[in-house]
Amino acid sequence: MDQLYLGDSLSLMADLPDGTVDLVITDPPFAIDFRATRNNYHRTGSRVMQGYREIAPEDYLAFTTEWMGQAFRVLRPAGSLYVFSGWNRLRDVLQALDETGFSVINHLIWKYQFGVFTKKRYVTSHYHILFAAKDPKNYTFNKVEHYPEDVWVVNREYWTGKPKTPTKLPRELVKKILRFSSNPGDIVLDPFIGSGTVAVAAREMGRHYLGFEIVEEYFEFARERLEKTEWGSAEEGN
């Protein structure tokens, strides 16, 4: 627990014992030929870390089914999963959830404040978040809001002038998931840790974490972030 590991998540997850993880939160590759330094992102390319590992579209269903199968195995009986997806390969994500035994509880929409500029189609300014459980009758859900809706408006984080990985989740978005679907002391796994936000948020909120990353530069970046992160108290809890 409370470690990041460098390597292929499919191999690393296979080494985890059955039924040992309480929650999986992850933002996997989207199979969209992602290029983070192109001009319409309005980023300084020299500050964006290279090495992003994309998946070929024709391999995406098999890839997603394989890692989700491992996620299903390592989750406890009352465990759950949050997986981020763009619209492009959403059908593969939904099919993989079904084939690996998960029950979809909610289809959430994360609305953020900007998207990539387009000329001949609508600007995409949201991601899909699939909330699924191993057992649809037994999973953690802390009703921390009186009327929890399935559309979340959370701004992206700006890391102006700082090194960054090509993709990163806002810490407040991950904390929102942790409040609803975990408790202090739970074990949270991110098989595609990237910049380390899931582990950082878990640490700040008194949850244990595990994270895997195949790109060495991202792994070192996430590990450095964690070294600067204080353990949170259970008071933030739910």
In contact, 124 and 9? CB cutoff 8 Å: no
Q: Give the mean model confidence (pLDDT) for residues 61-73.
A: 96
**pLDDT score of 42 more than 50:** no
Residue 163, pLDDT above cutoff 60: no
The pLDDT assigned to 235 comes to: 47
Interval 181-209 mean pLDDT = 96
Helix, strand, coil share (%) of the chain residues, nearest 5: 30, 20, 50
**Angle formed by the axes of helices 171-181 and 197-204, to 10°?**
60
Query: Which pTM does this prediction carry?
Result: 0.87
**By three-state DSSP, how is residue 13 classified?**
helix
- Provide the CATH topology of domain 3-227: Rossmann fold (3.40.50)
Give the Cα separation of 81 and 102 in Å (integer). Answer: 9
CB of 236 closer than 8 Å to CB of 174: no
Domain boundaries along the sequence of the chain: 3-227
Quick one: average pLDDT of 88-106? 96
CA dihedral sign, ordered 39, 57, 9, 127: positive
Angle of helix 197-204 relative to helix 216-227, nearest 10 degrees, comes to 20
